């Protein structure tokens, strides 16, 4: 059973420390002298230079309304390495995301899309989704008038590093951001109150080495274990799925059944979770296989040959066969080729055969669902995974973050053009109301889908035992995916 | 002959005594049916018995009503609570900027050259909701904000200290418009504050103030003298109608208790056509007005609704032509 868990609180800044600090501050106030070093004040301090943080800063820098703001970025990693990221054309990073057309549109608006290595971005135009137990398939029958013409892009497969590297290149072009990278946030506290200036509600980000950044608005784009969220005392509630997402870069026998111009994404719902194969340029694809932690560690321990065989099996063999092969330490390749001979399947209904896996690309991540209680506080806003973490089955995590960023940038723009203090809660309210409910619905949908299609919970189990066609139950997923594809946003159930 | 705006003295008992900020609320209440009790008799409006200004020294204070000031003093502490009684003012504030821009864009002439920064005078600034926001705009050179209430001004100053960006652009003065030296071309001896009081302003604003003032005609005339030729006098207030009586006095104060009783003195409300007449009577100074009626929609905030200036809250702007 899923257990409700509370977000882990970063050890180095917890609420009680903040409180203690506030108390200290009060005592210190009497000693605060006018000769104290002049505070280094920024309009926006963004902690986290992942897809969400970098997009936000790019959006703010590229808008004439907000380009005069004083902005700082704090990132633990070395951004120079990401900026100069480069792989040969036949190698792909294992962390890929599907960008929806609306995310791509947004990235284009802020001038970042052209900075991506476009030859490494793969649009796809069709999806094959089916139930692993009943083999029921979703047919994408578009309602009259809503059908995107053949070849319409459903989403763009992009390496996360291609995106972040492109965003950094665009930010560099725009200039004007004080970047503190390879920089650990040591502590976040509040400023001081003196006769002339009352900064007691201003977050102060202290970096290792002593540098202090005062923030009119502190943005937490610092991922699922967000230190900014802990500082703000905002809780994130949710579930651990007891599942891992196994990722890998795969090499296929060809460019796909539809060729270069009609790329297809595949997803099969297995009782342990969905397995997805998403097209990359040429003969390559990226794998996201959600499965139990035990299965995940077995998969990671296999030889490239056995791993490849298991991936082929995941899209072809029965769940029972698959389960059996997860009990073997090796020899999957032989086992699979024998079993495939016994299993009838339509070749073109499943992805082309995987012929290899790129070295060093097999990895896994624990899957969880988290939603922060709120995205805003006085002088604090959370975006991206800091605000919500979603099951990857619908490929929406990064896209949700882009939606957040678009909304927050618009909210800040409105505040600036109307003279509001962009860090005040009141100014941030439109961001919260625009995004919270939308994200909540999406989180709920993906959570439900995960449960519906997993054995051990959910209503599908009795339905299946009655032999009912699962197509009906796949309906919500279908309408969800179609709405996303048509750019209608979130309208499910 | 000049038209003048006069408030009637209150001849009927007031509905309450505690006062709060003018969170005039014009909402769906307008459609909610008949008021349960009668508004003040219509003759109190037409009778226009006498103006309070007669009893107060006109040179020092053509406009200040001490009762009004003590009411606002009491409110000082909650001024910046975004969920407090001033929330409606906070929510209305962005529209004020939209309205000012609309006024400026409506005219081919202007008090400032393209790219030049603007000077604002905010009269009756209260806790500084508008003054702070104007001072933060990148297009602003300076904001001078005045209010007769010492307590409120202390709150305004303390709150402005929370934003380092304001220290260079925003100046608060605990003064009435009568205390401010009239603009002249050269600085006068008495002018100990800053030279800003002796230069005219691109925008002089009176947001939710005129309905709290005793002699609105003299007050507007005085304020108008601080506007640069080509600049704008901008105000917002609430019309004196059955609807506004019903929604602000009865619904907002008595029924839903959104604002405490006594917030509004309905007799002091000024209708849009009265303001029009007032400025039409001074054609050598003022151009044709811009008007923008707004309605508070619960859950959504303030929305512009064409024609609503006749029944409730409205913005009013006039350009000084010479
Ligand atoms: C297996 C898997 C598959 C996925 N597939 C998809 C998909 O197909 N489509 C999709 O849209 N999404 C997908 N996602 C989700 C997606 O990867 C995330 O939603 C996205 O990366 C979140 O971006 P972010 O910028 O919010 O956070 P992150 O990418 O986590 O970035 C946070 C940044 O903050 C920095 N940071 C953290 N703490 C500090 C600190 N104290 N000081 C300084 N810096 C700090 C980190 O170094 C990091 O750079 C997938 C996720 C998983 C696990
Ligand atoms: C409802 S508040 C509006 C405050 C501010 N303009 C706003 O909208 O946020 C009215 C203000 O007018 C001030 N006031 C009252 N009589 C005044 C007068 N005669 N001259 C200038 N200000 C006055 C009060 O002190 C109070 O701060």
Q: How far is B220 from chain A (nearest CA, A)?
A: 26
Q: For the packed helices B129-136 and B87-106, what is the interaxial angle rounded to 10 degrees?
A: 50
Within 8 A by CB and 6+ apart from A360, the residues are: none
Cβ contact B94–A418 (<8 Å): yes
* DSSP class of B110: -
Question: In terms of Cα–Cα distance, which of A186, A216, A220, A212 is closest to A199?
Answer: A216
Is B253 marked as binding a ligand? no
DSSP H or E segment with residue B153 = helix B150-160
d(CA A72, CA A93): 28
pLDDT of residue A477: 63
* DSSP class of A115: G
Considering only the C-alpha atoms of chain B, give the largest distance between any 2 of them, rounded to a whole number of Å: 59
* DSSP class of B305: -
Is B207 marked as binding a ligand? yes
Scanning every residue of chain B, which has its alpha carbon at the shortest distance from the alpha carbon of A69?
Answer: B138
Is B211 marked as binding a ligand? yes
Q: Whose atoms come closest to the Cα of B134: which ligand? A: 2
d(CA B212, CA A470): 69
Cβ contact A418–B90 (<8 Å): no
Residue B175 has phi, psi (to 5 degrees) of -140, 160
User: Which chain A positions have a beta carbon within 8 Å of B120's beta carbon?
Assistant: none
pLDDT of residue A305: 97
Q: How does residue B27 score in pLDDT terms, banded at 50, 70 and 90?
A: very low
User: Which chain A positions have a beta carbon within 8 Å of B138's beta carbon?
Assistant: 68, 416
pLDDT at residue B246 greater than cutoff 60: no
User: Which chain B positions have a beta carbon within 8 Å of A419's beta carbon?
Assistant: 97, 132-137, 140
Say which of B82, B132, B164 has its CB closest to residue A197. B164
Determine the 3-state secondary structure of B277 from DSSP: helix
A11, HSE (Cβ side, Cα atoms, 13 Å): 0
Interface test mutation site (partner B, options A419, A432, A434, max chain B beta carbons within 10 A): A419
Cα separation values, B309 from A111, A127, B30, B305, B313, Å: 43, 55, 13, 8, 6
Question: In terms of Cα–Cα distance, which of A149, A129, A154, A150 is closest to A139?
Answer: A129
pLDDT of residue B3: 57
- Global pTM? 0.84
d(CA B247, CA B274): 21
* DSSP class of A106: H
Give the closest residue (by CA) to ligand 2 atom 21: B124
Residue A22: alpha-carbon gap to chain centroid: 34
d(CA B272, CA A182): 61
d(CA B38, CA A364): 73
pLDDT of residue A443: 77
Q: Give the position, in ligand 2's atom list, of the atom nearest the Cα of B21.
A: 1
Q: Answer whether A414 touches B (CB < 8 Å).
A: yes
pLDDT of residue A240: 86
Q: Whose atoms come closest to the Cα of A401: which ligand? A: 1
* DSSP class of B141: E
Q: Answer whether A198 touches B (CB < 8 Å).
A: yes
pLDDT at residue B197 greater than cutoff 80: no
Return the structure tokens found at A299.
């998969």
pLDDT of residue B254: 52
Ligand 1 pocket residue status of A446, Cβ below 6 Å = no
Higher pLDDT, residue B13 or A108: A108
Instruction: Give pLDDT tens digits along chain A (493 positions).
Output: 333 333 333 333 443 343 333 333 333 333 333 335 789 999 999 999 999 999 999 999 999 999 999 999 999 999 999 999 999 999 999 999 999 888 999 999 999 999 999 999 999 988 888 888 777 776 665 555 555 555 578 889 999 999 999 999 999 999 999 999 999 899 999 999 988 899 999 999 999 989 999 999 999 999 999 999 999 999 998 888 889 999 999 999 999 998 988 899 998 988 888 899 999 999 999 999 999 999 999 999 999 999 999 999 999 999 999 999 999 999 999 999 999 988 888 888 899 999 999 999 999 999 988 999 999 999 999 999 999 998 777 778 899 999 999 999 999 999 999 999 999 999 999 999 999 988 887 777 777 666 666 644 444 444 444 434 455 556 666 666 666 555 544 333 2
Q: Whats the size of chain B, residue-wise?
A: 322
Alpha helices by DSSP H, B226-314: 242-244, 272-280
Which of A11-20, A396-405, B135-144, B253-262: highest mean pLDDT?
B135-144
- For chain A, the first-to-last Cα distance in angstroms comes to 25
Task: Give the residue-averaged pLDDT of B132-155.
Answer: 96
Query: pLDDT per residue over B40-87, tens digit each?
Result: 333 332 222 233 332 333 335 667 888 777 777 777 788 888 788 788
d(CA B164, CA A54): 27
Return the structure tokens found at B243.
């609807």
Q: How far is B199 from chain A (nearest CA, A)?
A: 23
Query: pLDDT per residue over A155-202, tens digit each?
Result: 899 999 999 999 999 999 999 999 999 998 999 999 999 888 999 999
User: Which chain A positions have a beta carbon within 8 Å of B94's beta carbon?
Assistant: 414, 418, 420
Question: CB-based burial of residue A50 (10 Å sphere; 0-12 exposed, 13-18 middle, 19+ buried)?
Answer: buried
Cβ contact B164–A199 (<8 Å): yes
CB A354 within 8 A of CB A308: yes
Determine the 3-state secondary structure of B174 from DSSP: coil
Q: Which domains does chain A have, with CATH numbers?
A: 41-235+373-486 (3.50.50.60), 240-365 (3.30.9.10)
Distance B37 CA to ligand 2 centre (A): 29
Is B7 marked as binding a ligand? no
Distance A60 CA to ligand 1 centre (A): 20
Ligand 2 pocket residue status of B235, Cβ below 6 Å = no
Ligand 2 pocket residue status of B68, Cβ below 6 Å = yes
Ligand 1 pocket residue status of A220, Cβ below 6 Å = no
Distance B299 CA to ligand 2 centre (A): 26
Ligand 2 pocket residue status of B176, Cβ below 6 Å = yes
Residue carrying structure tokens 């081919």: B108
pLDDT of residue A48: 98
Question: In terms of Cα–Cα distance, which of A296, A308, A305 is closest to A363?
Answer: A296
Ligand 1 pocket residue status of A230, Cβ below 6 Å = no
Scanning every residue of chain B, which has its alpha carbon at the shortest distance from the alpha carbon of A196?
Answer: B161
DSSP H or E segment with residue A288 = strand A284-291
Q: Indicate the Cα dihedral angle B72, B75, B80, B81, nearest 10°.
A: -150
Give the closest residue (by CA) to ligand 2 atom 13: B124
Q: Answer whether A197 touches B (CB < 8 Å).
A: yes
User: Which chain A positions have a beta carbon within 8 Å of B140's beta carbon?
Assistant: 419
User: Which chain A positions have a beta carbon within 8 Å of B164's beta carbon?
Assistant: 39, 41, 197, 199
Q: Answer whether B33 touches A (CB < 8 Å).
A: no
Residue carrying structure tokens 């939603």: A371
pLDDT of residue A31: 37
Return the structure tokens found at A104.
């791509």
DSSP H or E segment with residue A41 = strand A41-47
d(CA B172, CA B164): 15
d(CA A102, CA A155): 9
Strand residues in chain B grouped as ranges (E): 118-123, 140-146, 170-173, 201-207, 227-238, 290-297, 301-304, 313-319
Pocket test for ligand 2, best of B52, B53, B60, B72 (most atoms within 8 A of CB): B72
Q: How far is A112 from chain B (nearest CA, A)?
A: 26
Can you spell out the DSSP letters for A200-219?
Answer: TTSEEEEETTS-EEEEEEEE
Ligand 1 pocket residue status of A274, Cβ below 6 Å = no
Ligand 2 pocket residue status of B22, Cβ below 6 Å = yes
Ligand 2 pocket residue status of B21, Cβ below 6 Å = yes
Question: In terms of Cα–Cα distance, which of A209, A231, A211, A212 is closest to A220?
Answer: A231
Cβ contact A425–B82 (<8 Å): yes
Q: Answer whether A420 touches B (CB < 8 Å).
A: yes
Cα separation values, B229 from A240, A492, B100, B281, Å: 67, 58, 16, 18
pLDDT at residue B262 greater than cutoff 50: yes
Q: Answer whether A483 touches B (CB < 8 Å).
A: no
Best CATH choice for the domain B62-319 from the list 3.40.250.10, 3.30.450.20, 3.40.50.150, 3.10.150.10? 3.40.50.150
Cβ contact B132–A201 (<8 Å): no
CB atoms within 10 A of CB A98: 26
- For chain B, the first-to-last Cα distance in angstroms comes to 19
Is B130 marked as binding a ligand? no
- Tell me what ipTM this predicted complex has: 0.80
Return the structure tokens found at A221.
């784009």
Cβ contact A196–B158 (<8 Å): no
């Amino acid at each position: 059973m899923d257990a409700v868990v509370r977000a882990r609180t970063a050890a180095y800044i917890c609420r009680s420390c903040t409180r203690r600090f506030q108390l200290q501050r009060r005592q210190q106030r009497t000693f605060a002298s006018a000769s104290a070093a002049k505070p280094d004040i920024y309009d926006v301090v963004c902690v986290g230079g992942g897809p969400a943080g970098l997009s936000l800063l790019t959006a703010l820098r590229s808008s004439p309304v907000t380009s005069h703001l004083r902005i700082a970025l704090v990132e633990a990693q070395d951004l120079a390495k990401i900026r100069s990221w480069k792989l040969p054309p036949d190698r792909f990073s294992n962390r890929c995301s599907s960008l929806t057309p609306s995310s791509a549109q947004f990235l284009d608006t802020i001038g970042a899309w052209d900075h991506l290595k476009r030859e490494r971005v793969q649009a796809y135009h069709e999806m094959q989704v089916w139930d692993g137990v009943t083999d029921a398939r979703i047919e994408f029958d578009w309602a009259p008038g809503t059908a995107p013409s053949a070849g319409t892009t459903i989403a763009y497969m992009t390496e996360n590093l291609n995106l972040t590297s492109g965003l950094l290149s665009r930010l560099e072009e725009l200039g004007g951001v004080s970047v503190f990278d390879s920089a650990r946030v040591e502590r976040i506290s509040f400023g001081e109150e003196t006769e002339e200036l009352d900064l007691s509600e201003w977050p102060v980000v202290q970096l290792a080495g002593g540098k202090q950044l005062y923030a009119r608005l502190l943005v937490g784009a610092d991922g699922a274990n967000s230190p900014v969220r802990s500082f703000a005392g905002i809780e994130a509630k949710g579930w651990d799925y007891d599942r891992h997402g196994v990722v890998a870069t795969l090499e296929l026998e060809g460019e796909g059944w539809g060729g270069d111009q009609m790329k297809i994404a595949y997803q099969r719902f297995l009782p342990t979770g969905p397995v997805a194969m998403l097209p990359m340029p040429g003969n390559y694809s990226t794998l996201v296989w959600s499965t139990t932690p035990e299965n995940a560690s077995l998969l990671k321990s296999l030889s490239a040959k056995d791993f490849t065989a298991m991936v082929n099996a995941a899209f072809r063999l029965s769940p029972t066969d698959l389960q059996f092969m997860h009990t073997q330490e090796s020899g999957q390749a032989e086992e699979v080729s024998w079993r495939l001979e016994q299993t009838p399947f339509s070749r073109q209904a499943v992805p082309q055969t995987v012929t290899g896996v790129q070295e060093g690309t097999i990895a896994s991540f624990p899957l969880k669902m988290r939603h922060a209680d709120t995205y805003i506080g006085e002088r604090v806003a959370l975006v991206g995974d800091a605000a919500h973490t979603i099951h990857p089955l619908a490929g929406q995590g990064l896209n949700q973050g882009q939606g957040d960023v678009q909304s927050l940038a618009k909210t800040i723009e409105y505040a600036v053009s109307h003279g509001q203090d962009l860090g005040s809660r009141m100014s941030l309210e439109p961001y919260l109301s625009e995004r919270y409910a939308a994200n909540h619905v999406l989180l709920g949908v993906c959570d439900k889908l995960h449960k519906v299609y997993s054995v051990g919970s959910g209503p599908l189990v009795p339905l299946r035992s009655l032999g009912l066609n699962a197509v009906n139950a796949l309906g919500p997923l279908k309408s969800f995916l179609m709405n996303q594809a048509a750019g209608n946003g979130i309208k499910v159930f | 002959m000049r038209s003048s705006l006069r408030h009637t003295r209150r001849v009927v008992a007031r509905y309450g005594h505690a006062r709060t900020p003018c969170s005039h609320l014009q909402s769906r209440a307008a459609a909610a049916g008949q008021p349960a009790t009668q508004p003040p008799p219509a003759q109190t409006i037409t009778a226009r018995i006498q103006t309070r200004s007669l009893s107060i020294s006109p040179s020092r204070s053509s406009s200040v009503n001490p009762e009004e000031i003590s009411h606002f003093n009491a409110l000082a502490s909650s001024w910046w609570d975004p969920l407090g009684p001033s929330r409606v003012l906070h929510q209305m504030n962005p529209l004020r900027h939209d309205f000012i821009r609309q006024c400026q864009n409506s005219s081919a002439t202007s008090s400032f050259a393209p790219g030049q920064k603007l000077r604002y005078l905010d009269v009756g600034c209260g806790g500084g909701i508008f003054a702070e926001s104007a001072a933060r705009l990148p297009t602003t050179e300076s904001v001078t904000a005045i209010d007769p209430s010492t307590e409120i001004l202390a709150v305004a100053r303390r709150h402005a200290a929370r934003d380092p960006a304001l220290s260079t652009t925003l100046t608060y003065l605990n003064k009435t418009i009568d205390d401010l030296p009239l603009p002249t071309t050269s600085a006068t001896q008495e002018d100990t504050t800053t030279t800003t009081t002796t230069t005219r302003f691109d925008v002089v604003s009176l947001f939710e103030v005129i309905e709290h003032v005793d002699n609105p005609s003299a007050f507007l005339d005085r304020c108008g003298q601080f506007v640069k030729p080509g600049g704008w006098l901008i105000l917002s207030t609430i019309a004196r109608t059955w609807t506004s009586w019903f929604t602000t006095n009865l619904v907002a104060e008595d029924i839903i208790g959104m604002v405490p009783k006594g917030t509004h003195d309905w007799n002091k409300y000024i209708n849009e056509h009265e303001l029009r007449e007032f400025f039409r009577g001074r054609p050598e100074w003022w151009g044709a007005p811009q008007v923008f009626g707004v309605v508070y929609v619960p859950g959504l905030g303030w929305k512009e609704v064409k024609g609503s200036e006749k029944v409730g809250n409205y913005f009013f702007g006039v350009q000084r032509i010479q």
